[in-house]
Structure formats: structure tokens, C-alpha cells
Amino acid sequence: MAFIVKKKIGGNEYYYLNENKRVDGKVKTKTIAYLGKDKKEAEKKAKDILENRKQSDQKSPKPLDLKEAKPVLKSTEISIEELAVFCKRKGFVYQSGEIYGGLAGFYDYGSLGHQLKKNFENVWRKYFLGLNSNFFEIETSEIMSSNVFVASEHLKNFNDIAAKCKKGHIERVDLLMERYTHKKMDGLSDDEWLNLIKENKAVCSTCKSPIEYVGPINMMFPIQLGVGTATTAYLRPETAQGPYVNFKAEFEVARNKLPLGLALIGRAYRNELSPRNLLLRQRAFTQAELQIFFNPAKIEEHEDFEDVKDYELIVMQSNSRDDGVIKTSCNELAKRIPKFYVYYMARVQQFYLDVLKLEEEKFRFFELNDKEKAFYNKYHFDIEVDLPNLGWTELGGVHYRTDHDLKGHQEISKQNLSVMDEETKERFIPHVVELSFGVDRNFQTLLTFAYFYDKERDNIVLRLNPKLSPVKAAILPIVKKDEFEKISRNIFDTLNKEWKVVQDKSGSIGRRYARNDEVGTPFCITIDGESLKKKDVTIRDRDTKKQTRVKISLLKDILRKLIEETLDFDEI
């Protein structure tokens, strides 16, 4: 049972949501969430959390898988439940069709969430398409013929391994057994799974009754095309197949040049057995993937490798897991992994550390061994981040898919997908290095790390990088009078042509700052009495609360530099 408690710390009162649970016959109290200092706000927040928990209990096959949730005192300590409440309250993300009780594994993005997601996609586009002038973005169908997935082997191999209890609850056996063994569980044989379930006396996560091994269940969503026909197609389970089936046409358009990069940002669909953890495991989600087609004879070279040769990669190697994460230069790793592949690992890590500004300790590559890697991969490193309450979580992967897919498509389609090297006149089927990213997982990570409870302000400050912030500036006329509102309107019209900005006219100035801090708006522009005389405004920096005056005529230019981080706030 959950209940609110008040704690007095240093003369101040703080509210928490606690819960009593029976563990090994004893009643133990756990803190679920920090609720703030205001009683009414605390009651409202608690209601939201419990309602949200009830919904996910009812609608998901399994309740949210949480380790002990801690009160939010630092940026990184938000639980999934609190994040879900925050996302709903501020219009970032809602459960899809919530007015009908929601649908497990499906989420909708509200206006702020949509904008943040688009901003992430644009930053991704700019960075990865910028790596080579022969990299392009395409857009392909989300429904594809069954032949595509015969060729790619998804119909045969793209499975979740299931277990079932007497009451009919089905769940993923690998995730269930990870909870018993505290190890990553992948690629076991039927007998190994059976033994593991028996040895651990595994029980159903929902009803605790004994569990039985079921075996592989395909994750694809079939679609019936037309009426009265027997044609079955499938919703794509990854964006990658679009670039593969279009490779030959795009190769000719790109005047037969390799390496050729085909990027695609779009939806993918998987009939997940256990959707959970907000956006982390959904049944419909967005991927941003780049397929890099290259000549396999040139796998030990990359024209820009010199630029990264001494760059240190943060890697958990498959053969050194007990020693934890190591740092290894690209040169060093290239002694056992092809240079062409290592080069892109460096670029991926730089994207996270330099562009998204993730803390180094929160990032690593995780090398999958032969049992764990995806069926189409020869080399497979997951891109992982260390999320509060969840631990290391996969955001994407760098995959060496060889010619697995193109060879399959050549065989099934009977089309020749080989190409010729202009210099050597040799024919070959190109190989592929795939850079694969889950957009929703990146979105959730960015929100989680940006979320900061500022004790001094007693308010949430969403410390998003300005490039990613959904709204770039809020314009706040200090007095409700025509002359102030006119300046506000003019500034809005000028800035809104370039970015999403808002005018915020209601409430005290403190309340307005707080409201905008909470959704990550990096700059507040205040119009006060001085503005009328001097034709200038105050800009306030979200994170430091520093303020400075700038001429209205220079505002747009300064704002652009601040957003692009070519100007420091102190330098204005």
C-alpha cells in the first residue's frame, strides 16, 4: 500500500511517497518518489504516480520493472514512473489512446515531445550524413512483401524466446532469467533454457505460479493486403530492409560510387512480448539507421582513419567482461576488428560525447559474443548508456552485417545485386556496416539526464542542450500593457520564423521562469520599462539564471550563436 509521508530536514518539510511491501515475511517500507515541499502539489503528484502505475499494471502484460526508486535529488535519479508522470504533465509523451485506457507498448508524442524528438533526429541527420558526401537519406515503405523477410531471414530468426505460466501469462524467458542470474542471457539452446528454468525454480513475474518453456515466437506483425486475397505482407521490424531493397537503384543514382550510405529515419514494428519502461520497449517505435555499403576487399582501410587512430573508445569487450570497461585506442582495437568498422565506432562515440554531451562515465560500447549477437551480424557492439534505476541500457548498435542481406535479396528476387569496382574491374556484392539507433530510447535518455531538481529554485529544470530544447526562447512582457505586448509580438514574429518560441504573458515573472525552466527552454527574454526607452531586452540563461541586456536589433543573431554554442552566455 502506498502513502504520503512528511519528513523534516534542516527545518524544512519534504513530502515522499512511500510503500509497504512484504518481503520474506517482513513488512518493509520503500520510498517510491520525492513529492516536493508543498502538501497540495505532493498529493497531486502522488495521485498521478499511482494512477499511472495502475494503468501500466492493467495495460501492460507486466508491471514496470523497477529497482528501488530513489527520491529525485540529483539530475540522474528519476524513476521511470516519475518520468512518465512528468512526460504526461508537460505534454511530452502520453500512452496512446489513453481515453480508452491505453494500449500496451504504444505511445503518442505531445507537442513538446514531438519537437524534442524532431530536434534529436535533425542533430543525428546533420552529424551522420555529414560524415561523407556520398551518404544520403531515403524514405521507404513501412509495409513490405513477405519475400523481403524470407530473404533477410527475419521470418525464420527474428524471435523472442517465450515462457508461459498456467494462468496463460507469456513473458520473455531471457529477461526473466536475467533477473535470477543477474547476467545477460542470450543465444541459449532449448535444453539450456529448460535447465535454467528448472534449476532456478523460475516463477511467472505476474502471478508467481510455475513457469514453462514455450520456445521461439516470431516478433513480426503480419498484415493482410486487400480484401478476399491471401496476400500477407509485414510491417517492417527494422528500417534497414528499405535501403537494401533499393540499394541497386540508389547506387546507380550515386554514379556507382562506394562507400555509399543510405540513411532512414522511420517507424519499425515489433510484437514485443513484454513492452515496458515507458519508451524503451514499445511495439511501434522510431529508428534512425545508416547502412554503409562498401567493398569488402577494402575493409581494412578507411580514408579518414588517421583522424581517429589515437581516439580512445570506451569498450566492454566480450572477452574481458570481468575486468569491466576498458579504454582502447582505435589503432589498438583495429588489430582485431576491421578498420572500416572501428572508424565508425569512433564517430558514434563522438556523437554521444561531443554532440549530445553525454557524461563519459555513462557511455560504453558492449561487445556481443557469438551467442549473443544478432543473426545477421559478424561483429556487433551495442551502444549503451547507464540509466538511473535501470543500469546499462542499449540505445543502438554498430553492426557488421556482411553481405547477409544483399545476398539474401539477390537469391530470392533473382536480381543481380553485385557491383563492379571501377579500378580493379572486379565484381562483388557489397558488405554493410550498419549504424543503428532507437530514436525513442535516445529521447528518453536525453530527458532522463536533463531532468534536474534544483533545490534552491524548488523546481525542475530540464537542462537540455539548447540545440535539442523543444522551445528555444520564451518572450515575457513584464507588464500587461499595449506597448509591452507590441514589442513582445514583434520579437515573437522575428524569432518564430527560425525557431519554436513562445510568448508567456500570465503569472508572476518568477512563475513564468519556473514554467519555462521545467520544459527546458534555454533562454527567457524579458521586456521591461527600460526596453521601451532603450530598445533592449534582458536575456536570462536557464541553467545559471544569469541575466544580461541586449539590443533588440542584435537579439536574433545573439540567440542563434547561443543555440549553436558558438557564443558563451558570459561573452554576450
Binding site for ligand GAP (CB under 6 A): 238, 240, 270, 272, 280-282, 285, 287, 289, 394-397, 434, 436, 438, 440-441
Nearer to ligand GAP, 104 or 450 (CB): 104
Q: How far is the CB of 295 from ligand GAP (least distance, A)?
A: 22
Q: Quick check: helix, strand or coil at residue 228?
A: coil
432: closest CA among 477, 399, 481, 470? 399
How is the chain split among helix, strand and coil, in percent rounded to 5? Answer: 35, 30, 35
Determine which helix (DSSP H) or strand (DSSP E) holds 354, and give its type and residue range.
Answer: none
Q: Quick check: helix, strand or coil at residue 235?
A: strand
Nearer to ligand GAP, 77 or 272 (CB): 272
Tell me the C-alpha distance between 379 and 86, whole Å. 38
Nearer to ligand GAP, 81 or 434 (CB): 434
Nearer to ligand GAP, 346 or 368 (CB): 368
The single-letter DSSP state of residue 455 is T
Q: How far is the CB of 488 from ligand GAP (least distance, A)?
A: 40
The single-letter DSSP state of residue 12 is E
Nearer to ligand GAP, 106 or 305 (CB): 106
Q: How far is the CB of 385 from ligand GAP (least distance, A)?
A: 10
Nearer to ligand GAP, 314 or 495 (CB): 314
Q: How far is the CB of 265 from ligand GAP (least distance, A)?
A: 12
Tell me the C-alpha distance between 462 and 136, whole Å. 33
Q: How far is the CB of 348 from ligand GAP (least distance, A)?
A: 12
Q: How far is the CB of 384 from ligand GAP (least distance, A)?
A: 9
Q: How far is the CB of 198 from ligand GAP (least distance, A)?
A: 29
Which residues, 6 or more positions from 182, have their beta carbon under 8 angstroms from its beta carbon? none
**Burial annotation 169-200 (CB, 10 A radius, 16+ → b, else e):** bbbbbbbbbeeeeeebbeebeeeebbebbeee
Q: How far is the CB of 238 from ligand GAP (least distance, A)?
A: 3
- Parallel, antiparallel or unpaired: strands 12-23 and 2-9: antiparallel
158: closest CA among 223, 220, 243? 220
Q: How far is the CB of 439 from ligand GAP (least distance, A)?
A: 8
518: closest CA among 151, 95, 41? 41
Nearer to ligand GAP, 48 or 440 (CB): 440
Tell me the C-alpha distance between 30 and 452, whole Å. 22
Residue nearest to ligand GAP (CB): 438
Q: How far is the CB of 289 from ligand GAP (least distance, A)?
A: 5
Which residues, 6 or more positions from 549, have their beta carbon under 8 angstroms from its beta carbon? 530, 534, 536, 537, 538, 539
Nearer to ligand GAP, 274 or 526 (CB): 274
259: closest CA among 308, 293, 303? 293
Q: Are 347 and 406 in contact (CB under 8 A)?
A: no
Tell me the C-alpha distance between 281 and 186, whole Å. 17
Which residue is listed with cell 533499393? Answer: 246
Nearer to ligand GAP, 36 or 430 (CB): 430
Determine which helix (DSSP H) or strand (DSSP E) holds 552, and give its type and residue range.
Answer: none
Q: Are 547 and 540 in contact (CB under 8 A)?
A: yes
Q: How far is the CB of 111 from ligand GAP (least distance, A)?
A: 21
Q: How far, CA to CA in Å, does 306 sit from each of 135, 151, 303, 328, 536?
A: 20, 37, 8, 16, 49
Nearer to ligand GAP, 33 or 387 (CB): 387
166: closest CA among 197, 134, 120, 207? 207
Q: How far is the CB of 370 from ligand GAP (least distance, A)?
A: 16
Nearer to ligand GAP, 14 or 136 (CB): 136
Total residue length of the chain: 572
Nearer to ligand GAP, 45 or 117 (CB): 117
Tell me the C-alpha distance between 158 and 219, whole Å. 6
